Chain A
């Protein structure tokens, strides 16, 4: 298994499409519909990478990021933002959490694959 990826998005259609694509590319995909559920999944599944939406009910992507970065066990998990927000403010906020990359919706599936592969190849080699 090349890597475990957690996809967090409140749009179930997006979750379905992204996780289908990830599986086709050879990754294990796990999903969550909000930040809180995402944190639970991190604790249980220990993903190698997180694809994170910004606007979600219950707990937003940025709130979830704060918790991830404050947890010593999780703070090094690479996060790629996958969001409809393309305004500079949101991008700046994400940069503050030192996310690996920032992809805006609608996105190019090949660009996504490239960025995930780049992030996970070292861990793939380790495995």
Chain B
């Protein structure tokens, strides 16, 4: 079971036990007190009513007693048997008195004045006169003392009555003259008994006679008088206590038992010995204990609320207590799974908080220990790895050193060589490494280097540079042991061996590459010379062909037919083309070889543009193209070769016209920073993006729908233009939108520097 549940259940159990105990005690005490109070009340009530009844009966006795001493009635009884007017008068007076007295008391049913024989001599009720009561208890018992006859049912009058008799004695002789009887209705008695004061809704007081019949009305049963037989515990107790030899204890008087209806009641009794009546007071327990039911209800409510509150508080407190414990538990699981960075600590000041912080401290220690171990392990692995790498590296280096075709040697500036690989020994023609290490760099060099400096002076300088810079690469003339010399490249690298700064020299014999370089240079020169010579040589026969054709074509040798003229025209055109081609080749060759002369003079670019415009405008007009010039007048004159720039402009504009069928040619000049920018824009067929880089290469003629050869191009124009612009320190480029047109730009620096000016 979880701690939270344990706490909750414990809480609940404690509250239940406590509440139950307190509740039960309160209930018992309250019940006891209530019972006491009801008992007291019942007892008091029954006693007081009994006293009341006693008093009433006494009063009746007194009334009867007083009347039995009446002179009027005595006079009547004395002379009643003596006939005469006096007798009649006496009778009248007696009757009058009885009637009058009855009227004064409503509960008196009638007065009877019995004579000594037991006959009714006078009465408040004339119809009763003459009745014989000689056998009635009222006469028999009433002769001696005042006597009260128990309740009886008067058939004649159809109602229950009691009768009070008093002996009527001669006031002189004391002789019994008769008996005075008062028949009394029960209304007064009933009033005393049925008064509900202090009896609640269900309480009743009633009187039971010695035969066990109720003589006062029941609150619950109609017509119970003298008909309802009572045989209850309450009555039995009353009979039991009829002697009253001792003062009765309260619990002997009161108790709880079923009443005559079978209902559970609390009851009390009094016994009236004079009449042998039991006066019973009873009240329903249900009503009597009604306050207890209310208390029970309230208590149940309180218990319910208390239990719920306890349960909820239990849960809350349990969570409050078990939350941190739960967190701690979870934390330990996380840490247990290896995450030592997890923190379970809380700020709580309680024991759980202290425990969590202690736990964190422990984890931290564990982590530090683990980290240290890990760190150590890593360090060990790292060192092993480094050692292995070093060993491998050394082995590799050694292997490279031994097997390299390059001569690798180690030297110290002051001491000379300390090691050389087999290639070194072979390169310098030494016997072995020992012989090699006895040498100095100067021993392996001729006295002078090609630039005229002494090797013994230059070598230390080179080494110094390498020591300072870290490495130094240079060419060096070396000497073998047999005094033969060879050119080499030397790479000096500063390095460290066992803490000492040394130089590693890698020497490579470049005899072969030097030779190849020289041969290539010669070949290039030879080619240039060949092209140049060939071109010149071509010009000579070409001139003869050209002039010969011109001569025939002009008609100076005789008339030509149409076919002859046509084919001579073809020949003439192609001869001119060939001449141009040869000139271009020569130009390109010259400019490539740097033999082109540039006549740099201050000149205006706008002037050059205007000059070209004059020659090109008719060509554009011939093709129906607009020729637009936009020049920036603010451009200052700069140094450039005007003829060469005109050649470039002519080439660009000529190309533009050639490749544009409709639209315009636009030439602009502008000044940008330190450059003059000239552009030639056409609305021709354009150039594909991928073809643009090839534009300025020699003999490149781009494939177009209309071949360039149709227009007699050589494929050298743009290449020559590029060379010219580059020789001015500028650049040339093209931008094109394929199908829409091309723009060529060239840029001349304001401070144009002639690259090569040779005559």
Contacts and interface: CB of A to CB of B under 8 A. Distances in A.
Interface in B557-600: 563, 566-567, 570, 573-574
A58 B703 contact: yes
B563 A57 contact: no
Contacts of A113: none
B573 A13 contact: yes
A17 B570 contact: yes
Given A12-B710, A20-B563, A57 B705 contact: yes
A57 B570 contact: no
| A interface, over-half SS | loop
A16 interface: yes
Contacts of B710: 12
Contacts of A13: 570, 573-574
B574 A57 contact: no
Nearest to A16: B570
Interface string B289-320: 00000000000000000000000000000000
B577 to A, nearest CB: 10
A40 interface: no
A117 interface: no
Given A12-B710, A17-B567, A20-B563, A57 B573 contact: no
Interface string B691-722: 00000000000011101011000000000000
A10 interface: yes
Contacts of B704: 57
Given A17-B567, A20-B563, A10 B707 contact: yes
A11 B709 contact: yes
Nearest to A56: B707
Interface size class of B (residues with CB under 8 A): 10 to 19
A43 B570 CA distance: 31
A57 B707 contact: yes
Interface in A5-29: 10-13, 16-17, 20
Interface in A60-107: none
Contacts of B705: 57-58
Interface in A23-71: 33, 56-58
Contacts of A57: 703-705, 707
| B interface, over-half SS | helix
A17 B709 CA distance: 17
Contacts of B703: 57-58
Nearest to B702: A57
B715 to A, nearest CB: 12
A14 to B, nearest CB: 9
A11 B566 CA distance: 15
B395 to A, nearest CB: 51
A17 B569 CA distance: 12
A33 B704 CA distance: 12
Nearest to A24: B563
A13 B712 CA distance: 12
A56 B708 CA distance: 11
A11 B710 CA distance: 7
Contacts of B570: 13, 16-17
A5 B710 CA distance: 23
A33 B705 CA distance: 10
A10 B567 CA distance: 17
Nearest to B570: A13
A98 to B, nearest CB: 27
Contacts of B574: 13
A20 B564 CA distance: 12
A72 B710 CA distance: 35
A21 to B, nearest CB: 10
A33 B707 CA distance: 10
Contact of B709 (A10, A16, A58): A10
Contacts of A16: 566-567, 570
A10 B704 CA distance: 11
Interface in B527-574: 563, 566-567, 570, 573-574
A116 to B, nearest CB: 20
B687 to A, nearest CB: 14
Contacts of B573: 13
Contacts of A56: 707
Interface of A: 10-13, 16-17, 20, 33, 56-58
Given A10-B707, A16-B570, A20-B567, 13 more contacts: A10-B709, A11-B709, A13-B570, A13-B573, A13-B574, A16-B566, A16-B567, A17-B567, A33-B707, A57-B703, A57-B705, A57-B707, A58-B705
22 contacts: A10-B707, A10-B709, A11-B709, A12-B710, A13-B570, A13-B573, A13-B574, A16-B566, A16-B567, A16-B570, A17-B567, A17-B570, A20-B563, A20-B567, A33-B707, A56-B707, A57-B703, A57-B704, A57-B705, A57-B707, A58-B703, A58-B705
Would you list the 6 A-B pairs with minimal beta carbon distance, nearest first?
A57-B703, A13-B570, A10-B707, A57-B707, A13-B574, A11-B709
